[in-house]
Amino acid sequence: MIKKTFFYFSVITLLTSCGSSQKEREVEEKENTEIQREYIVKDASSNFRPGWIEDPEVWARDKGKDIKMDRYFSYETEPKVSRNIACNIAKANVKADIAGEIATFIDKQLATSTQGNASVDENNPNMQPLREYVENTLAEKVQALIHGAAIVKTYWEKRDYKAELGAKRDFKAFTCAVLIRMNSKALAKAVDEAANYVAGKADDPETKATVRKALQDASKNFEMAKKGEI
């Protein structure tokens, strides 16, 4: 009786396992079919799309790079009419992209400091214009603080966009991506200088104190944010 029970249990377990595996495969296949590109890659600078485009920090860690000494960023252009134009734009936007990340981080820090405390904005009319300045102008100012950013890798694609795949029309275009390395100390200095610059734009002591509190340890928090630790 025990053997028979064990046999039934084994069969049920096997069927459940097979059913579970099949279900997992179906879900995986469904997820894969939902990732639908509106273009076909006709040519590229390498056989595989580099992982650093999507997550340069993870790529650097997996490749054994010293991520304490250097930080990594990536930037990819929108479709352009030629490869040279796409790659020239990518290279020209290196500082702008890093500055944009810093400005976005600072804006989020300011938003977090006032979240759940509406009185900070309501009772201090100077806070909202300062937030608008950070959102609209800070990135351009921060570019001057970016020093030593170097392009270490470049990747381009020639794409054939198809209306039948979801594109607005049929057309051919190029995109270009760059991997950027910047010394951690230089980056930390740029973040802290940007934070001090924002605090300096505050016109009154109350706003200045609020901003300095929100942006204290800015470079440390920026590094943690890039690692996904906050």
Render pLDDT for 35-61 as a digit per residue (tens, 0 to 9): 578 999 999 999 999 999 999 999 999
Q: What pLDDT score was predicted for residue 123?
A: 53
Render pLDDT for 186-206 as a digit per residue (tens, 0 to 9): 999 999 999 999 988 887 888
Please identify which residue in the block is written with the tokens 């084994």.
Answer: 10
pTM of the model: 0.74
SS3 content of the chain, % helix, strand, coil (to 5): 60, 15, 25
Question: Which residues of the chain fall short of a pLDDT of 50?
Answer: 1-34, 116-120
d(CA 87, CA 178): 8
d(CA 35, CA 28): 11
